């Protein structure tokens, strides 16, 4: 006859294991935590201790953290490369130049930012610039009312420029590009060179032509 176990009467190991099989997972975990060993028995065998094996949980959190860290490093490296590229490219844009005048004053980027400027680049050592005074004075007479006319001397000392102009009546200012950085930034490749700048933008760049009026009329109209 089957007897229901009374309070305090231990159930058989097989019955306890069956109860664990049908118990909810939460209750099974509590039972396993409360019993370090569960007895399993079969006919004719002695009791053997069964220790539940709990697999350690694996997590991808360290991998995700490492991936985010690598992404941040990549972003920082890209920002440094872009900053370095901007610094290296800056000199080619001729930023905020200041050319001293032969007789005082200076020519700055702000002077070219508004209105029209006719700028002649020349040097006394160039054979093609021997008559530069007469040619520039002619431009001033014809176009001085429509644009500001100035000249820039390319890579010469002040004393050499003053010596060349001594006894000549140049009617426009002369500014000194002693190291040539201004002329190079404006891509002047020949002497004498002609630049027409309107509101800070170069409208014409090239050699100073013999028929300069045709070039200026097409640029300044």
Domain range for residue 142? 96-220
**Is 213 part of any domain?**
yes
Reported in sequence order, the residue ranges of 42-141 that DSSP labels E, i.e. its strands, are 48-50, 98-100, 106-108, 116-122
**Which domain CATH number covers 153?**
3.40.30.10
User: Distance between CA 82 and CA 106 in Å, rounded?
Assistant: 34
Task: For 163-220, write each residue's pLDDT tens digit.
Answer: 999 999 999 999 999 999 999 999 999 999 999 999 999 999 999 999 999 999 999 9
Cα dihedral sign, 181-184-186-190 = positive
- Please indicate, yes or no, whether residues 170 and 114 belong to a single structural domain of this protein: yes
pLDDT (0 to 100) of residue 176: 98
Residues 210 and 107 in one domain: yes
Supply the pLDDT for residue 193. 98
Query: Residue range 50-71: average pLDDT?
Result: 59
Least confident of 12-21, 61-70, 102-111, 193-202: 12-21
In a domain, 24, yes or no: yes
Residue 134 lies in a domain: yes
Q: Give the tens place of pLDDT for each residue, 23-54.
A: 555 544 554 455 444 444 444 444 444 444 44
Burial class from Cβ neighbours inside 10 Å (0-12, 13-18, 19+) for residue 198 reads: middle
Residue 62 banded pLDDT, cuts 50, 70, 90: low
Q: Is the pLDDT of residue 143 over 80?
A: yes
Residue 59 confidence (pLDDT) above 60: no
Per-residue pLDDT for 160 more than 90? yes
Specify the higher pLDDT residue, 193 or 221: 193
Residue 144 scores a pLDDT above 90 = yes
Higher-confidence residue: 5 or 84? 84
In a domain, 191, yes or no: yes
- Asked if the structure places residue 168 within a domain, the reply is yes
User: d(Cα 163, Cα 4) in Å, to the nearest integer?
Assistant: 128
pLDDT average, residue stretch 149-175: 97
Regarding whether 134 and 65 lie in a shared domain, the answer is no
Tokens 């102009």, residue located: 165
146 and 163 co-located in one domain: yes
Q: What is the pLDDT of residue 221?
A: 78
Mean pLDDT across the stretch 72-79?
74
More confident residue, 39 or 131: 131
pTM above 0.85, yes or no: no
**Whether 184 and 119 share a structural domain:** yes
Kindly state whether residues 71 and 32 are assigned to the same domain. Answer: no
Cα dihedral 172/175/181/187 (nearest 10): 0
Mean per-residue pLDDT of the chain: 78
Same domain, 66 and 158: no
Q: Is residue 3 included in any domain, yes or no?
A: no
Q: Any idea which of 58-72, 145-159, 176-190, 196-210 has the lowest mean pLDDT?
A: 58-72
**Does residue 4 fall inside a structural domain?**
no
Residue 129 is predicted with a pLDDT of: 97
Q: Is residue 160 one of the residues assigned to a domain?
A: yes
| Total number of domains in the chain | 3
């Amino acid at each position: 006859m089957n007897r229901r176990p009374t309070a305090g009467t231990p159930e058989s190991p097989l019955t306890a294991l069956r109860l664990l099989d049908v118990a909810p997972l939460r209750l099974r975990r509590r039972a396993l935590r409360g019993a370090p060993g569960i007895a399993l028995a079969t006919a004719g065998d002695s009791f053997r201790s069964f220790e539940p094996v709990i697999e350690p949980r694996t997590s991808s959190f360290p991998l995700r953290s490492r991936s985010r860290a690598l992404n941040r490093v990549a972003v920082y490296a890209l920002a440094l490369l872009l900053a370095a590229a901007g610094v290296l490219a800056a000199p080619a844009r001729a930023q905020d130049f200041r050319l001293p005048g032969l007789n005082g004053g200076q020519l700055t980027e702000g002077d070219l930012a508004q209105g029209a400027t006719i700028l002649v680049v020349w040097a006394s050592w160039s054979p093609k610039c021997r008559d530069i005074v007469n040619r520039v004075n002619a431009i001033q007479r014809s176009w001085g009312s429509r644009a500001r006319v100035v000249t820039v001397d390319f890579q010469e000392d002040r004393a050499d420029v003053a010596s060349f102009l001594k006894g000549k009546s140049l009617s426009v200012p002369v500014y000194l590009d002693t190291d040539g950085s201004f002329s190079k930034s404006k891509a002047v490749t020949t002497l004498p060179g002609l630049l027409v700048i309107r509101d800070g933008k170069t409208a014409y760049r090239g050699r100073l032509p013999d028929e300069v009026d045709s070039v200026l009329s097409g640029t300044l109209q």
